[in-house]
Structure 1
Amino acid sequence: MTPLRIAILTHSTNPRGGVAHCLALAEALCAHGHEAAVHAPDPAGRGFFRDAACPTVPVAAQPVNGTTVDLVRARINDYLRHFSTPAACDFDLFHAHDGIGGNALATLKHRRLIPGFVRTVHHVDSFSDPVLAEWQDRSIREATRLLCVSRTWADWIRDDLGAEADIVGNGVDLSVYRTEPTGADTALRQRWGLGPGPVILSVGGFEQRKNTLGIIAAFARLRGRHPRAQLVIAGGASLLDHAAYRAHCRAALASAGLEVGRGSAVIETGPVPQADMPALYRVADVLAFASWTEGFGLCVLEAMACGTPAIVSRRAPFTEYLGATDALFVDPADPDAIAAAMAQALASDVRSRLRSAGLVRSAANSWRACAERHLETYAACARARQEPIHA
């Protein structure tokens, strides 16, 4: 296949699953001999949350004080300014991973600056605001080709939009996410005041679709059996406004008598540097990831690669790429079941079984294979680049 120049667009430079996917995909594509450059609006001017072995383009972006609609509109316009000339659009193809990039590329297509674009749908949000809902739908409807990371969302696209999407999956970098402890493990324990545990890890911050309330309720029950247990809630960088849900979570913590802070029952880390994530997985006794909605759940593979057992929801997409014995499956609506799974994962025989199964499962999901699954779609869109653009 002729080497391609690919512009990959994501919504943020922060450590979110979709952004991590874009960087890892671009690195794998570059290793294949292509030039894949990841773009993202960067209002803080700090660049991406980690160094990458691929070109990255922090797009100049204006600070926004306003609603989520104001913020999304501004980020779409940031992209439109960046790609406002034919010279800036000098790529063989464009690949958006969210509604912001997808809307910008749809407008560029209408302006005849690009012939079309690929859109990966990681997951679909339910927006009460009709403007946000329309932007999300447009970014999918107007794409030339569609990709999904799981069958769940490919089926949704087929059933709701009448379009077909190829499934590309996800991957994990086994050179980064490893079982062997390093000095970072001890440093992280000291930084956050982690005791003998057990330590339960929740990734994604205080967010409704991550089911943080359910995990808090389950953890409160676990503390009845393990009074020194600690819950680490990591991450949380998001363009969406989760303030109301966060307030509910804080109220639930207070009601359960769970203090928040370094060395306390609950530790809120905020966004975690990429370099610290493997250590965070390793110091955790279990990953609690009983989400309501996921595109894939990339952190599950990362935790497994670090030897950490995972608790996941008994629903797609987890049931698509995990075997029945790879993780502990629970009903996300049942805090008692989540708490029981937390306790079960601490048993030495269960922990050993899950650790072994997780290492096998994570090793079967490489970014190289994920990148290869993109190439047929890319080739088809690159051919369209050679054709005249019609009004």
Structure 2
Amino acid sequence: MTALRIAILTHSTNPRGGVAHCLALAEALCALGHEAVVHAPDPAGRGFFRNAACTTVSVAAEPVKGATVDLVRARINDYLRHFSTPAACDFDVFHAHDGIGGNALATLKRRRLIPGFVRTVHHVDSFSDPLLAEWQDRSIREATRLLCVSRTWADWIRDDLGAEADIVGNGVDLSVFRSEPTEADAAVRERWGLGQGPVILSVGGFEERKNALGIIEAIARLRARYSQAQLVVAGGVSLLDHATYRARCRSALAAAGLTVGRGAAVIETGPVPQAVLPALYRVADALAFPSWKEGFGLCVLEAMACGTPAIVSRRPPFTEYLAATDALFVDPADPDAIAAAMAEALATDTRARLRAAGQVRVVAHSWRACAERNLNTYAACARTRQEPMHA
């Protein structure tokens, strides 16, 4: 294949799963001889959450105060200003990973500044605001070609939109996420005041689709048996407004007598730099990830690569890429089951079994393979890039 120049658009520079996917995908594409450039609106001007072995572009963006719809509109317009000239659009392939980039590219396509674009659908949100829902729908319907990271969402696109999407999956960088302890592990324990534990890690912040309330109820039950148990809630920075759900979580924590702070029963870390994240996985006794809705659940692979048992929902997409013996599967609606899985993850034989299974599973998920699957779609898009998606 001739070397391609690929513009990859994501919604922010913050450490979210979709952004991590874009950076790792671009790095793998570059390693295969292509030029992949990751773009994101960057109102803070700090750049991406980690250094990358690919070119990145911080798109000029002004801070926005107000409702989510105002923020999304502003970010779409940030992209439209950035790609307003033919010179800025000098790429062979344009690839959006969310509704913000997808809407900007759909408008650029209508303005004939670009011939078409690829859209990866990581997951589909349920928006009460009709304009947000319309933007999300448009970013998918007007794409030239569609990709998904799991069969779950490819099936949704087929059933709801009558369109086909190729499945590209996800990967994990085994040079970064490793099970061997380092001196960073002790530093992580000190930084957040982690004691004898057990330590349960949740990734994604206090968000509804991450099932934060279910995890809070489960850790309260676990502490009845292990009084020193701690819950670490990592990440959580988001473009969406989760204030109402966060307030419910705060009330649940208070009702359960769970304090929040360094060294407390619950530690909220905020965004975690990638240099620190592997150590955080390693010091945790289990990853609690009983989500209601996921595109894939990239942090599950990362935890497994670091030797940490994962607790996941007994539903797709987890049941797609994990065998029954790879993780502890639970009903996300059952806090007792989540708590029981937390306790089971502490058993020596269970930990050894899940650690071994996880090390085998992660080898099957490389970013190179993910990049090669993307390239197959890029090639098809280049051949038929004037054709709209047929819905």
Distance 1:100 1:170 in 2: 21
| Cross-structure match for 2:375 | 375
Distance 1:212 1:226 in 2: 20
Distance 2:342 2:114 in 1: 50
| Cross-structure match for 1:231 | 231
| Cross-structure match for 1:53 | 53
What SS does the aligned partner of 1:58 have? strand
| Cross-structure match for 1:332 | 332
Contact 1:228 1:265 in 2 (8 A): yes
Distance 1:319 1:383 in 2: 35
User: Structure 1 residue 388: deviation in Å?
Assistant: 11
Contact 1:152 1:317 in 2 (8 A): yes
| Cross-structure match for 2:341 | 341
Q: Deviations over 1:320-370 (max 9, x none)?
A: 000010000000000000000000010000111001001110111100011
User: Structure 1 residue 63: deviation in Å?
Assistant: 1.0
Q: How does 1:119-138 map to 2 (within 5 A)?
A: 119-138=119-138
Contact 1:193 1:262 in 2 (8 A): yes
User: Structure 1 residue 220: deviation in Å?
Assistant: 0.2
Distance 2:65 2:256 in 1: 34
Residue 13 (structure 2) pairs with residue 3 (structure 1):
no
Q: Identity rate of aligned residues, in percent?
A: 85
Gaps of 5+ in 2: none
| Cross-structure match for 1:256 | 256
User: Structure 1 residue 384: deviation in Å?
Assistant: 4.2
- Where does structure 1 differ by over 4 angstroms across 4 or more consecutive aligned residues? none
Distance 1:251 1:362 in 2: 37
Residue 289 (structure 2) pairs with residue 323 (structure 1):
no
Contact 1:211 1:291 in 2 (8 A): yes
Aligned partner of 2:269: which letter?
T
Q: Deviations over 1:123-143 (max 9, x none)?
A: 000000000000000000000
| Cross-structure match for 2:96 | 96
| Cross-structure match for 1:289 | 289
TM-score (norm 1): 0.98
What SS does the aligned partner of 2:58 have? strand
What SS does the aligned partner of 1:361 have? helix
Distance 1:216 1:363 in 2: 32
Distance 1:5 1:383 in 2: 15
Contact 2:144 2:387 in 1 (8 A): no
| Cross-structure match for 1:165 | 165
Distance 1:372 1:315 in 2: 27
Q: How does 1:180-329 map to 2 (within 5 A)?
A: 180-329=180-329
User: Structure 1 residue 24: deviation in Å?
Assistant: 0.1
Contact 1:115 1:384 in 2 (8 A): no
Distance 2:193 2:375 in 1: 46
Aligned partner of 1:64: which letter?
V
Residue 177 (structure 2) pairs with residue 177 (structure 1):
yes
